[in-house]
Amino acid sequence: MSLPSEFRPADTGVIHDIGYRGYTGPRLGRAYATRSLFTQSLRAAYGLGRSGKSKVLPMIVLGAATVPALIIVAVAVMTASEKLPVDYAQYLSAIGLVVSIFLASQAPVLFSRDLRHHTVPLYFSRPITRADYVRAKFGAMACAQLLLMIAPLVVLYAGSLLIKLDFGDQTAHFFYGLVAAVLYALVPTSVAVVIAATTPRRGFGVAAIMGYLAVSTTVVAVGLETSTATLTAGENLPDSVQWAVLLSPGGLVESLTNELFDLGTGLERMHAPGGLGLLVFTAVAAAMVAGSYRLLLRRYRNV
């Protein structure tokens, strides 16, 4: 039953002129958007700009990577040592587990979260392309790894200068460490980000990355240990055994660095076997990085 006209509410619709005007300022474009995504992703890898609990693990890992270097420097200063007890590149190898934990935990933060919350299409609604997205995310994770490893190297280098070790020698070995850090930041990272980009569930990504790195490293370590047990005192590992290191991204980088800069001694020294080995190890490292990048591009074509 309809109400009489005198009881019906009057139409109150009004058009308000709120003075809306289109944006006429500068448009910063793809390059700026890509740089912003890179910066935001790099900060996210260390939990910056996120909740307090997101910062806990990255800061613990950073401390675990740096504190031993501080202890080494403190002992060297107090004992007036004539050399550091560990070389820069060897130190990075020694903290390999810590670096792996950071990589396994933070790579899914950069890749899996966007897939899980379906925010990837929103990025592509902006000027950036899929290649821009992959470039920014891959670069951010590699730089996060690099910063993690450079921090203890700087501490060791500063300590060596503090106790007045040979400047030229320490600078050269610091450079060797930087090269090793760049390789560690590229080769294992390239594999980890591909794994992280395959699943929207962070837990699965963490387990898969850590499992791959741990299993490959263990297989190589067991193979080398078995070969070492059969040798007599004074013998070195045969070059044929060194090829097994290609199975492990971390071992590949350590072997390549040792051969390139003639680092390490003893039975446990991993190295690319000779000139051919150096060429093959370099080619495999480059193929890992380039192949992983191509797989990432293919992955995000369908997102």
Secondary structure in 3-state letters for 241-293: HHHHHHHCHHHHHHHHHHHHHCCCCCCCCCCCCHHHHHHHHHHHHHHHHHHHH
How long a stretch of residues is the chain? Answer: 303
> Reduced to 3 states, what is the DSSP secondary structure of residue 63?
helix
Cβ within 8 Å of residue 33, ≥6 positions away: 126, 127, 128, 132
Q: Which two tokens stand for residue 168?
A: 């030229």
User: Which has the closest alpha carbon to 45: 193, 195, 172?
Assistant: 193
Q: Which two tokens stand for residue 87?
A: 């070389």
- Please name the amino acid found at residue 121: P
> Using one digit for the tens of pLDDT, what is the confidence trace for 17-43?
777 777 777 777 888 889 999 999 999
Residue 249 sits at the vertex; the CA angle it makes with 106 and 296, to the nearest 5 degrees, is 55
> Using one digit for the tens of pLDDT, what is the confidence trace for 58-92?
999 999 999 999 999 999 888 888 888 899 999 99
Q: What is the predicted pLDDT for the residue at 25?
A: 75
Q: What is the predicted pLDDT for the residue at 9?
A: 58
d(CA 9, CA 65): 72
Strand residues in the chain grouped as ranges (E) = none
Q: Which two tokens stand for residue 129?
A: 């392309």
Q: What is the predicted pLDDT for the residue at 230?
A: 67
Give, in order, the Cα–Cα distances in Å from 276 to each of 170, 224, 237, 288: 29, 20, 17, 18
Q: What is the predicted pLDDT for the residue at 202?
A: 86
Q: What is the predicted pLDDT for the residue at 264?
A: 78
Averages of pLDDT over each 10 residues, the chain, 303 residues: 56 70 77 91 90 88 95 89 89 93 93 85 82 93 96 95 90 95 95 92 91 90 76 64 87 91 78 88 95 92 77
Q: What is the predicted pLDDT for the residue at 95?
A: 93
